[in-house]
Structure 1
Amino acid sequence: MKKGKAMADWALGAAFVGPAALVFVLIVLFPFVMSIGYSFTEWNGVSSDMKWVGLANYTTILTEDRAFLHSFAFTVRFTLASVLLTNALGFLLALLLTQALKTRNFLRTIFFMPNVIGGLLLGFIWQFIFVKGFGTIGEKTGISFFNLPWLGDESTAFWGIVIVSVWQGAGYLMVIYIASLAGVPKDIIEAARIDGANRLQLLGRITFPLIMPAVTVCLFLSISWAFKMFDLNISLTKGGPFGSTESIALNIYQDAFRNNMLGLGSAKSVIFFVAVALVTIVQVSITKKREVEA
């Protein structure tokens, strides 16, 4: 009987998990393994002429490919700025919208809406805002901020992409922070207030440590989004001006699919995967240690 029940439980689990596992293997795992194999070849992705080159692609990337190294540096800078600002804004919005405001549900919807819009469409909308909208406002008001070449200069184009990224992602993180703040025990807060704790002390010593699981999740998501940023990049600046805002994802796309160097692009994607995996593992391990139980 026990063996029959175990087989029935296994069959039931396989019926539910099997289709999803099969899709994951075919869509994610199998192409990932294939890309590792392609990274050791010289192949244009189309012809049957595939040449085994060993570690040559990796050597070229790390020693000769300045464009990749520059895109890597840009992506790291963008990730730092985007992650910090997106989480800070999302947390501040969550603090604001957990107060007793009559319009808080409406405001939550408004702040979340940018995340619903696709990255490509969002990029084209903000491209119009930066070029036409800001230009018109600057012309009418004479305020120098609006007259900056937002997408035409390296420094301003960088911050332009950061602004759009933060505007898109903060609402999503806000929802996670709101859910976590709602779970903070009220009795602990009241006890701290009775003991004389002010608002900053309540936030730093009680609220923030108790919502660290949400911080772990939000940091993980925002780091992943920032490193993989592609749609905003290609729709806002296309990596310009002169490749100064080209992300790693866009650089890989250009080599693999525009320049027909799929082997080199695959090697870059493997390096990219290892870098992102290391960063996220370190981030999760650090923030997990700071989590406390209520």
Structure 2
Amino acid sequence: MRVEPTIKTGPVKTQAQIKAVSKKRFKYRSLLTYAAFVGPALLFFLVIQILPFLMGVYYSFTSWNGVSSVVEWVGFDNYKQIFTDDQTFFNSFVFTTKFMFAAVIISNLIGFGFALLLNAALKTRNILRTVFFIPNVIGGLLLGFIWQFIFVKGFASVGNMTDISFFKMPWLGDEKTAFWGIVIVFAWQISGYMMVIYVAALQGVDTSLLEAARMDGASNWTLLTKIIVPLILPAFTICFFLTISMAFKIFDLNISLTGGGPFNSTQSVAINIYQEAFQNNRYGLGTAKSILFFVVVAIFTTFQVMLTKKKEVEA
């Protein structure tokens, strides 16, 4: 009698088990794909942003001069010195805050005005968009030196020819006029960038809503304030956030136009930190100032985003 060999097989998998295995494999592949795309960017972000920031927090509690291999821990002495014995830093913060408010309002008004103009059916709107955006392409230092020549030489020549007092003012030699000179150049540079964002938002507005409002007798001002502005509030959120952060961090325009003068009256916080760390060789104190600066900018921008986002929800 012949006995047939038996073949041992594993347990038969059910349909649910097969689906579970397939689901695990799909998750594993998705995780690998996600890591392949996000991993390098995350690595660079950690190395370039997070690690230097944490090192900066550490150095803010030291008296390191930026060169020596000896790093002495001083605790909160740097922060105590900033709050008790550094009037220059406080003055630079006051200047930067005033500059921020003026620059944000003016640059956004100009950018939004340009956007409304170029959103109309103009034959030259593409050329004008390029013209208005070009200042943003020019580097801040180069732009500052160009405008320094305009303020010092150009305005003086026009003032001598026309005898107009506006052109005869010491634009970079007086505290008040130097402040507005920096505001003018900043707004001239950044308004084109804001214009691009506002134009993109305006093009997303449903024209049927505007036509229906016009048929109901709404004026242009009513269309602007009651329909257009509420619909593009997300663009205002982005533009306000960008201009606030850019205005707070102003450095290249400031140093090329006035260098913080006259008599440190137009010294921004960024210039003060730069001088403290790299000219006075007090890297620990300069880093402490930069940490405080980071906290203040974060508070301002967070409050602004929360406020404008709340308005978006209400609209």
TM bucket normalised to smaller: over 0.9
Counterpart of 1:181, as a letter, is L
Match of 2:149 among 112, 119, 128: 128
1:65 correspondence with 2:96: no
Residue number in structure 1 paired with 2:175: 154
TM-score w.r.t. the length of structure 2 is: 0.92
How far does residue 292 in structure 1 lie from its aligned partner after superposition?
A: 5.0
Shift of 1:169: 0.3
Paired position in structure 2 for 1:252 = 273
Query: Where do 5+ consecutive residues of structure 1 fail to align?
Result: none
Moved over 4 A (4+): none
Q: What is the aligned partner in structure 1 of residue 70 from structure 2?
A: 49
What code does the residue aligned with 1:247 have? S
- C-alpha RMSD of the superposition: 1.1
Equivalent residue runs for 1:38-187 within 5 Å: 38-187=59-208
Partner of 1:234: 255
Larger Rg: 2
One-letter amino acid matched to 1:2: K
CA contact (8 A) 1:210 1:292 kept: no
Mean Cα displacement is larger for which, 6-15 or 62-71? 6-15
Query: Hey, what's the Cα distance between the residues in 2 that align with 1:281 and 1:293?
Result: 18
- Tell me the residue number matched to 1:14: 35
For structure 2, list consecutive stretches of 5 or more residues without a partner in the other structure.
Answer: 1-21
Partner SS for 1:226:
helix
Structure 1 distance, partners of 2:180, 2:77, is 36
SS of 1:136 mapped into structure 2? helix
| Residue 195 (structure 1) shift | 1.4
Tell me how far apart the structure 2 counterparts of residues 126 and 230 of structure 1 sit (CA, whole Å): 15
Amino acid at match of 2:300: V
Partner of 1:217: 238
Could you report, residue by residue, the CA deviation over 1:147-189 in whole angstroms, capped at 9, with x for unpaired residues? 1111111111100100000000000000100010111111111
Overall identity of the aligned pairs, in %: 62
Q: 1:186 to 1:293 in 2, by over 3 A?
A: farther
In structure 2, give the amino acid aligned to 1:6: K
- Could you tell me how far 1:209 is from its partner in structure 2? 0.4
Maintained 8 Å contact 1:209/1:292: no
Distance 2:281 2:25 in 1: 55
1:188 corresponding residue in structure 2: 209
Question: Could you tell me how far apart the structure 1 residues matched to 2:173 and 2:77 are?
Answer: 36
Corresponding residue of 2:220: 199
Superposed displacement of residue 200, structure 1: 0.5
TM-aligned CA deviation for residue 23 of structure 1: 1.1
How many residue pairs are counted as aligned between the two chains? 294
TM-score (norm 1): 0.98
